Each structure stands twice: as structure tokens, then as C-alpha cells.
A and B are shown apart, each in its own frame.
Chain A
Amino acid sequence: MHHKTIKNGVILALLVAGAMLVLLPFFWMISLSFKPADEIFAPEIVFFPSRLEWQNYAKALSSVPLLRFLMNGFIVCGAILFFQILLAVPCAYALAHRNFFARKAIFGLVIAGLLVPYHVTAIPLFLGLAKLDLLNTYSALIIPFIASVFGIFLFRQFFASLPADIIDAARIDGLSESAIVWRIAFPLAWPAVSAFAVFSVVAHWNDLFWPLIVVSDPDLATPPRGILYFRDEEAGSDFGPLMAAATMVTAPLVLAFLFAQRKFIQGITSSGLKG
């Protein structure tokens, strides 16, 4: 037994050491974000700031519209999620609980869609948005993502597991199909919906590729795009405020993750099908 306790202790110590290494960038980011400039540029290693330099945060908020970037992130992620659900839920319901001639074909499209990384569609979508004169608008950041094949797939699998009796009972009660979708199937699908919401918001909050392509107006920058504006504008020398900005951009999702870990892990790993 004693031998086993030592073994457990060693394993735990090694894992904690590894975890500290993984968390080091987070610690360093927060530490630098509070350090006065002279401590950042010190030649020796200083782990903790000697005093909290809130000026870094004030500067990050005043020299670029950081709050604006965060708000853009909320608007874009919220709108994408809203339209994804609005389109995917009725379609998934029809695929799972209705019998119509195009059903197999549409489900085939969903599966085929899972094979296409969104980078592949970038050039034609850019051309299309340019034709419609929509570059540099919120629409350009939102529209390309409203058809989520992953969402349709996830919701279809969930709806397929609902007993047909529930649906039949609602039909006999005289509910219309769209009432069944939104008042019966959708609330029941809450576990799938929340997992999908986590997946979608994490993906789009953190995305740089698409905002870099369709948005050059800083007023429309999403948080990652904003971080790059900030770094380039400050010529890469003002590290304290840059780290303060990085902290503020990373905080919303990390905090949400810490409060709802199970949901986050489930939502993000359920996307295994579409990395």
C-alpha cells in the first residue's frame, strides 16, 4: 500500500508540473499585463509584478476601440448562432421525422458538407460578397456561416432519438409542423443545442482567417482581428497594454469555460466529426 501511495504521488506531481507548463502562457500573459514597463524590459526573470500597473489596461482600452472589438465579437457570434439554429433545426426535424422524396438527397448533402473545410469556399464567397457590395459589413462576417452542416447533422441525430409517439401525439392534437419544431422538438433538444452553441461560439470568436479577408475597417474587427490591429499600431513595443488586451479578449471564453466545463468539453469534442 505504501508503495502505491508513493507512486500515486509521483504521478500527480508530474501531471501538476505538466499542467503548470501548459498554463504558463496564461500566467505570463496576466503577469505581464500588470507589470510596469521597466519590469517587462528587465534583463532578469521577474515572475510577479511588484505592483499592479492598471495603466496597461487603461491604455489598451483607450488606444484602440477594444470594447468595440469585443462587442463586434458578441454581435457576430450571436448572429451566426441565431441563423444557424433558425435554419438547421427545422431542416434536421424534417430529416428525422418526415418522409419526403428529397430526404435522402438532402441528408447526403449534409454528410458531404461535413467534408468541406470552410477555407475551401473562401475565394468564391469573397467574390460573391464583393459583387453584392457587402465587403466590410457585419453581413460579410455572418452570412458565410449560416448554413451549418454540423448543426443539421447533430440535431438530426438528436431528433432521430426522440420517440415518434411524441411527435404523433402533437400532430393529433392539431399542432402545425413548425409549432412542433419550435415548441416541442427544439426545447427537448436543449442538450444538443447548448453543445452546438458552445462549439459555434468558440469557433467564430477565435477565428482570424475570415475576418482578415472580408474586413479592413477597424470598426468591424472581431477580437482576434482587433488584437492584430493593436499590435501593429503600437509597433510591437508596448507589451504591457498588448498583454492587457490579450487578457481581455481571452477572458470571456475562458471564464465561461471555467463556469460550465462539462458543457464546453462536450460541445467542443462533439465536433470531432468536423475539426
Chain B
Amino acid sequence: MTIIGRKIREGMTDVQLAGPATLAMLVLIFLPTVIVGVLSFTDYLFGASSFNWVGIDNYIKLFGDETGRRAVVNTLIYVAVVMPSSIILSLIVAVGIHSVGQWSTGAANFLRTAYFMPVVATLVAMATVWQMLLHPSLGLVNQVLASVGIPGQEWLSDQGLVLYSLAVIGIWETVGYNVVLFLAGLAAIPRHLYDAAQVDGANHGWDQFWIVTWPMLGPTTLFVLVITATRSFRVFETVATLTNGGPGFASDVLVFAMYREGFVYFKAGYSGAITMVFFFFVLTLTLVQFRIFEKRVHYR
């Protein structure tokens, strides 16, 4: 067999192994990403036979018109509420579970499982449960509030409250995920650092937390921060199940606006522009995340 013959055969094997996946990636991920970018500069409507180039009109509309801006601002508010709350809560819970783990592995495992449950549960189904809990007259939340004399609220139909109610569900859904990440970070802190801190006079848990735990958790915290932000930017299920972006666009967010404009109103061009803005936010965050991840790997 000639060398050339063998090279061809080896090449065929490479194509056979890597070809299908590469082709699928190009057709299903990269080509569509380019197309949606191109569409965002047109007025294309689903089903239309032609379209016009409109430059950056779609983007101007998104940031210029009241409704479009609402979606952007609401998404940012949602992220700004969910991200810090979820991280602070999950850090507290993780430090607590870690300390329980020092004297009872069983109890620590049980707690971790409990906090992680919402992560695996079907969010749409759980959202209908939240709808019951937050129901203005029959809901447990308002009933409990009433029993201590606080007037009930219209959690999901009050324009000023709805976004924050959704954020609470978002926090509930993400805490367990972050707890697990923090627990892994805590387990990696060498025991002797705490002993050393104790020698230096840090006897209280609180001092030890600030001198050892917090600095050592730095990379994990950054990682959790970015992951929570990217996940929060994608908020869709709860909005689609509970509010449809209402009342009066008070809970409209980017992914839901993309869905509504594109697949309910068939404005593919405008929806494409919303997609690109959403993509820009997530891409920026993910690039930051990649850099952090690289650093973590290097320092290990």
C-alpha cells in the first residue's frame, strides 16, 4: 500500500469520525447565528416572500420605544435582584452546611439534597404551584400575611411587584445550584489555613470567615456570580407561565419579548434584533466566565 493511499484512508477515517458532528455544528449553531444577525437588519416577517434592509432601525426601535426598553431594563433589574440575593443566600447556606458536615455527614447530605430539589424540578410545573402560593385570595402567602395582620398583595398582577415576585422564584430556583458550587469550593480550602489563622488570633468563626474562607473562595465566588447572571438573563419559563410579560409589560424580559415578537407577531427581523442584544449580554458574561475558568485551571 502506498503512503498516499494510506493518507487518503486515514483522512476518510477522520471525516467519518468528526465529520457528522462538525457538519451538525455548522448547520445547527453557526449558520443560524449568522442568519439571525443578518435578519436583525431587515424587516422580514415570517411567511413573507420578500424583505427590505432597514439598517439599524430594529435596534433603534428596541432601545427607543417604551415597550422595547422595558424588556431590556426589566431583564437588567431581574438579574440585579436575583444575582446578589442568590449568591449571598447560597454562600450562607453553604458555609452552614459545610460546618454541619464537620460533625454529621448525613445531616449535611440531607440538607444539600433539600436545597438542590428546585434545580431538578420542572420549572413550568413549579411555576403553577407558585401561582397557587401567590394567589391573591386563596394563596398561602397572603393567608399567612393576613394571620399576622399584614394586608395581602396582588403579587403577580401588581405592576410594581410582579418583577420582584418572579425574582423570588428565580432565587428559589438557583440557590441550590450555587450552594453545591460553594460547597465544592469550601471543601477545597486546606484545613491548616484555619489552624494558622487561629494561631494568629482569629478565634471566632466570623474572623476566620473573613481571613480565610472569603479570600480562598474568591475564584468560586466569581464563577458563581457569572453563572448566576447568565442563567438569570435567560429567564423565560416563569414569565411565559405566570405573566406573559404583563401586566402592561411590567414583567416583559428579553427572551420573552424575542418569543412574542418573533413567534406570536411573526416579526422575525425585530425579534432578531432582540436576540442579538440578548446574545451580546450573555456573550460578554460568558467570555468573562471563560477567563475566570482558565485562571482556575492554571492555578490548580
Residues of A near any B CB (own CB < 8 A):
8, 11-12, 14-16, 18-19, 22-26, 28-29, 32, 40-41, 43-45, 87-88, 90-91, 93-95, 98, 100, 102-103, 106, 109-110, 112-117, 119-128, 130, 143-144, 146-147, 149, 152, 177-178, 181, 202, 205-206, 208-209, 212-213, 223-224, 227-228, 231, 239, 242-243, 245-247, 249-250, 253-254, 256-258, 261, 264-265, 268-269, 272-273, 275
Inter-chain contact B46/A121, CB cutoff 8 Å = no
Instruction: Tell me the smallest distance from the CB of A49 to a CB of chain B, in Å.
Output: 14
- Jot down 19 A-B pairs with beta carbons below 8 A, ordered by A: A8-B103, A11-B96, A11-B99, A12-B107, A19-B111, A28-B129, A32-B129, A45-B147, A90-B16, A115-B287, A127-B35, A208-B124, A209-B236, A224-B124, A249-B124, A257-B116, A265-B180, A272-B227, A275-B227
Residues of B near any A CB (own CB < 8 A):
10-11, 13-14, 16-18, 20-22, 24-33, 35-36, 39, 46, 93, 96-97, 99-100, 103, 107, 109, 111-126, 128-130, 132-133, 138, 140, 143-144, 147, 172, 175-177, 180-181, 184, 223, 227, 230-231, 234, 236-237, 240-241, 255, 258-259, 262-263, 268, 271-272, 275, 278-279, 282-283, 286-287, 289, 293
Inter-chain contact B123/A275, CB cutoff 8 Å = no
Inter-chain contact A121/B28, CB cutoff 8 Å = yes
Inter-chain contact A87/B29, CB cutoff 8 Å = no
Inter-chain contact B275/A123, CB cutoff 8 Å = yes
Instruction: From the candidates B18, B144, B279, name the one contacting A45 in the complex (CB within 8 A).
Output: B144
Inter-chain contact A90/B240, CB cutoff 8 Å = no
Inter-chain contact B35/A124, CB cutoff 8 Å = yes
The complex places the Cα of A3 from the Cα of B138 at a distance, in Å, of 44
Which residue on B lies nearest to A16, using beta carbons? B111
* A19-B111, A95-B18, A114-B286 known, 12 other contacts, Cβ within 8 Å: A11-B100, A22-B175, A23-B117, A45-B143, A117-B279, A123-B35, A124-B36, A127-B46, A152-B21, A209-B236, A228-B124, A239-B132
Inter-chain contact B143/A223, CB cutoff 8 Å = no
Instruction: Tell me the smallest distance from the CB of A1 to a CB of chain B, in Å.
Output: 12
The complex places the Cα of A126 from the Cα of B28 at a distance, in Å, of 11
Inter-chain contact B22/A106, CB cutoff 8 Å = yes
Instruction: Tell me the smallest distance from the CB of B8 to a CB of chain A, in Å.
Output: 12
Inter-chain contact B125/A249, CB cutoff 8 Å = yes
Q: Which of B21, B35, B262 has the most CB of A within 10 A?
A: B21
Inter-chain contact B99/A147, CB cutoff 8 Å = no
Inter-chain contact B39/A123, CB cutoff 8 Å = yes
Instruction: From the candidates A18, A28, A231, A269, name the one contacting B93 in the complex (CB within 8 A).
Output: A18
Inter-chain contact A246/B128, CB cutoff 8 Å = yes
Inter-chain contact A116/B140, CB cutoff 8 Å = no
Inter-chain contact A117/B13, CB cutoff 8 Å = no
Q: Given A25-B130, A123-B262, A275-B230, are A113 and B29 also a contact pair (CB < 8 Å)? A: yes
Which residue on B lies nearest to A15, using beta carbons? B96
Inter-chain contact A25/B129, CB cutoff 8 Å = yes
Instruction: From the candidates B93, B116, B181, name the one contacting A272 in the complex (CB within 8 A).
Output: B181
Inter-chain contact B28/A143, CB cutoff 8 Å = yes
